[in-house]
């Protein structure tokens, strides 16, 4: 995976969208990979993963997450 490009100033929605995009490409990802890619704390990533899981968008697993089926194009847009 490529190094991040100063992504530590991302909003929560931007981070979550990146997480979902990465999962779309890989179907599973580790917390360490997300820490390296997003350049933010593990607790921030864990909070994002909990929120995304509560929305039914991913499954949290020990040390990372796996993707659930959903419509990525509409994520982050209010209906």
Please give the domain boundaries of the chain with CATH numbers for all domains: 11-69 (1.10.10.10)
17 vs 70, which has greater pLDDT?
17
DSSP string across 20-54:
HHHHHHHSEEEHHHHHHHH-S-HHHHHHHHHHHHH
Q: What confidence score (pLDDT) does residue 4 get?
A: 46
Q: Model confidence over 52-74: pLDDT tens digits? A: 999 999 999 999 999 886 555 56
First CA to last CA distance, the chain: 34
């Amino acid at each position: 995976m490529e190094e991040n490009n100063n992504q530590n100033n991302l909003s929560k929605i931007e981070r979550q969208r990146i997480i979902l995009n990465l999962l779309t490409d890989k179907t599973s990802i580790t917390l360490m990979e997300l820490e390296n890619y997003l350049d933010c704390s593990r607790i921030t990533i864990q909070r994002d993963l909990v929120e995304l899981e509560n929305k039914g968008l991913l499954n949290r697993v020990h040390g990372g997450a796996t993707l659930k089926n959903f419509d990525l194009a509409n994520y982050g847009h209010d209906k």
